[in-house]
Amino acid sequence: MHEDYPSREEERGLVKRFEDQLKNNSFHFFDVSEYETIIQHYLDQFQYGKGLKASKIALEQYPFSQEISVLTAQCHIGKQEYDDALKVIDNAQNLHPNDVDLITIKGNIYSILGEYEKAIELLENTLDVAEDKSEVYYNIGLTYQTNGKYKDAIKQYKRAIELNINHENALYELAYCLDVTGKLEDSVAYYQQFIDRDPYSAYAWYNLGIVYNKLEKYEEALKAYDYALVIDESFSSAWFNMGNSLMSVDKYPEALEAYKNTLSNEGPSAEVFCCIGAAYEKMEEYDYAIKYYRKAAKVDQFYEDAWYGIGCSLAAQEKYYEAIHFLNKALKLDPENANYWMAIAEAEANIGNIVSAKEAYQEAAMLEPEQKEIWLDWSMIYYDQGEFQQAIELIERSLEEIEDDSDLLYRMVAYQINAGQYKEAFTYLENALILDFENHEVLFEFFPKLETQKALFKIIDQFRNKN
């Protein structure tokens, strides 16, 4: 591919010229690198049909272009037209029989089709001719990983990294596979050896940070990212990951600064704008949050988290009608996201649309029955309406999905006491106290009367003395 990448504005201009040509049935001259940019734009936007239209015209003008052939195959892969993709690669290989990129994409297609051995054989055959052997090992690793052979994938990723410590994708996938196989903790020493070999390698520190972050050792991760940035203050990925780690330890102003440094060094992206919006949202600066979520949506109108962020920020300001509009936009893009359904349910409940709220909670529970917050919030709708038996039945259903959860058990106690089912309530209370004694304080939220609180405390205190 060409190295002088156009700016986003130049890219949009090329795409507009191309689409005007199609619309007006006119002719504009595009060189091969411009066609690459146009097709790549459609790939990035998941507009594979448009990408194929551009590819067809490009190949008519530049039939010997290996780059256009690869992009054409990727468009077919996006549309799951694997036979067509293979035909494009086969035709291109007649002109470029030893081209590594063509063989690699062919191997990737075989991997998608489940023909892993054929894919690996193809990729291994390129090692003698490949200029970048680390990329070959990386693709072999991906094939093993797709086949669930994580230990074999780990070996290949390590080979890729030994050849290229800066291979960010190989380092990321290695960390994932080590995590899956339970070897991530042991791998710290593996990453440390790269730092010992070259203590001024920003990538070595950066990837040590990734490992610590996956291990939820956020302070260690922050130190590692900080070292990477001391070495290279323009390292945008290190700024971004530092922001994520800071969000994990609730240091939102610092996270905000890290994300803004990512923007300064990387340029605008929907993901970074969304992260900035999330930091402002956590700081309860909702107008700023909405501003950046809107920026994210402007960069990529299909970035559902942007619409979700706007909806949540509006809901936090009790602008529920407006919130539902944006939450539905997110849901339309990702209808199987339980969090989106939950947010809609809460907003609907707040404007009194109880039936719609119940339906939304039901959708969320079908998608993620193991998420206890769905059951707790859903059952509260019935509780607030005095429909205690329905609330109890929902918690019973939740306990079939999630065993031994004290929040659910204490909630059942609250509902059963309100329903007058004292014997059953005390059985659940005993189980809850055994599971998590300290959590019993959640009960008092449901019983504001001091007399009831005293009676409950007496029972709980008796249990404490016995145990």
In terms of residues, how long is the chain?
A: 467
Do 1-97 and 369-467 have matching folds?
A: yes
Please state which CATH class domain 369-467 belongs to: mainly alpha
Name residue 69's amino acid: S
The DSSP-derived string for 168-202 is HHHHHHHHHHHHHTT-TGGGHHHHHHHHHH-TT-H
CATH number of the 268-367 domain: 1.25.40.10
DSSP state of 33: H
Query: Minimal CA–CA distance to 404: which of 379, 438, 370?
Result: 370
Mean pLDDT, the chain cut into blocks of 10 residues (467 residues total): 56 84 80 91 88 91 90 92 92 85 88 91 88 92 94 94 85 87 86 87 89 93 97 96 97 98 93 97 98 95 95 97 97 95 98 97 97 97 96 96 94 95 92 93 88 84 79
**Which residues 6+ apart lie within 8 Å of 98 measured at CB?**
129
Cα dihedral across residues 437, 439, 441, 447: positive or negative: negative
The DSSP-derived string for 336-368 is T-HHHHHHHHHHHHHTT-HHHHHHHHHHHHHH-
User: What fold does the segment set 1-97 form as a domain?
Assistant: 1.25.40
DSSP state of 128: T
pLDDT of residue 203: 86
pLDDT of residue 5: 54
Distance of CA 268 to the CA centre of its chain: 19
Task: Find the helix packing angle between 236-248 and 252-266, rounded to 10°.
Answer: 160
pLDDT of residue 197: 84
All structural domains of the chain with their residue ranges: 1-97, 268-367, 369-467
pLDDT of residue 414: 95
Q: Scanning the structure block, which residue is given the tokens 């649309």?
A: 353
Dist. CA 405–CA 388, nearest whole Å: 20
pLDDT of residue 265: 94
Q: For residue 264, give Cα distances in angstroms to 205, 232, 257, 384.
A: 21, 14, 11, 49
